[in-house]
Amino acid sequence: MAPEPPPPATAAARIDTTRPHSARVWDHWLGGKDNYKVDRELGDQVERTFPHVVAMARAGRAFMHRAVAHLARDAGIRQFLDIGTGMPTAPNVHEVAQGIAPESRVVYADNDPAVLAHARALLTSTGPGSCAYLDADLREPGRVLSLAGRSLNLGEPVAVLLISVLHFIGDDEDAVSIVGRLMGRLAPGSHLAITHATDEIGGPAVTEAMEAWNRTVVTPLRPRGRAAFTELFFTRLGLELVEPGVVSPPHWRPGASAAPHQPDVPYWVGVARKP
């Protein structure tokens, strides 16, 4: 069992270790150590109901690596805004982007004090690029962009990464408006990359696992189907999906080294460009 990580003194008052938190449970599934007993217990409970959840989390993370590499190498993006970043798990966004374009600038944003404390301690950039960390909530897109604008030039293309975060925003919180306000402020040529949980893949085991999650975790999960995901976050916002469109993570530009016939995982992913 992993040892209990002591919270940094400056954040201790804000970190609730009595209830599981989505970022720390995800960290457990990814093999990280920045989690608590309560997070591991929920993660293990969900895994018993849905044994493929670890593969799902890791497939989503692998998509993020490929998407950032595509954006830096093929789309020429040099600015990245990762919102709802979660616990640092190498390789991180700046490591992938700066490995291709060393001058890349990356801003991480999260509203979890534990995530921010670990990010500031572990995520260090090497010149000529840069990293910055924001205590900001996706539900406040104007504030996110205002703070990010201190490190990024919003007059030039920016890649916004919403990895495993939009499914924690319900329709009553107007997730479409939030994403629209983010992308509306950005320059043409900016991109949006999203991973989003779905219950359309995996059958009853997935539904049961998501219900178990929602009974226990601080932030409930709101899965969406492929049609709704595509319409809400890409089509309605006038964004142009890049190939291969909306697919399960293993099928998004897997590369020649990927194992053949990888099974679907209950995620939809996509990358789109602002014209």
Give domain status of residue 224, yes or no. yes
The distance of Cα 50 from the centroid of its chain, to the nearest Å, equals 21
Establish if 101 belongs to a structural domain.
Answer: yes
- Residue 58 falls within a domain, yes or no? yes
Length of the chain: 275
Within a domain: residue 218? Answer: yes
Are 230 and 247 spatial neighbours (Cβ–Cβ below 8 Å)? no
The model's pLDDT over 108-151, given as tens digits with 9 standing for 90+, comes to: 998 877 777 766 666 677 779 999 989 999 999 999 999 999 99
Report if residue 93 sits inside a domain: yes
Q: Give mean pLDDT, residues 60-79.
A: 95
Structural domain boundaries enclosing 127? 15-254
pTM confidence score: 0.83
Task: Give 96's contacts (C-beta < 8 A, 6+ positions apart).
Answer: 65, 68, 69, 72
Identify the pLDDT of residue 156.
Answer: 98
Which among 238, 229, 233 is positioned nearest to 274, based on CA atoms? Answer: 238
Average pLDDT over residues 94-119: 87
β-partners of residue 194 are: 162, 270
> Of the given ranges (61-75, 215-229, 253-267), which has the lowest mean pLDDT?
253-267
Question: Which range is least confidently modeled, 30-39, 122-131, 201-210, 256-265?
Answer: 256-265
Does a structural domain hold residue 142? yes
Taking each helix axis from N to C end, the angle separating 175-184 and 141-148, rounded to the nearest 10 degrees, works out to 30
Say which residue the tokens 């104007």 belong to. Answer: 142
Residue in this structure with the two tokens 């085991």, named with its chain if needed? 205
**pLDDT of 256:** 65
224: alpha, beta or left, given left = phi > 0 and alpha = psi -120 to 50? beta
Q: 259 lies in a domain?
A: no
What is the predicted pLDDT for the residue at 46?
76
pLDDT, average across residues 150-177: 91
Mean pLDDT of the chain: 85
- What are the strands of the beta sheet with 79-83, ordered from one edge? 130-135, 105-110, 79-83, 159-163, 191-197, 267-273, 240-241
Provide the b/e sequence for 151-173 (b: ≥16 CB within 10 Å). bbebeebbbbbbbbbbbbbeeee
Residue 65 located in a structural domain: yes
CATH number of the domain bearing residue 21: 3.40.50.150
- The total number of structural domains in the chain stands at 1
- Counting residues of the chain whose pLDDT is more than 70, the rounded percentage is 86
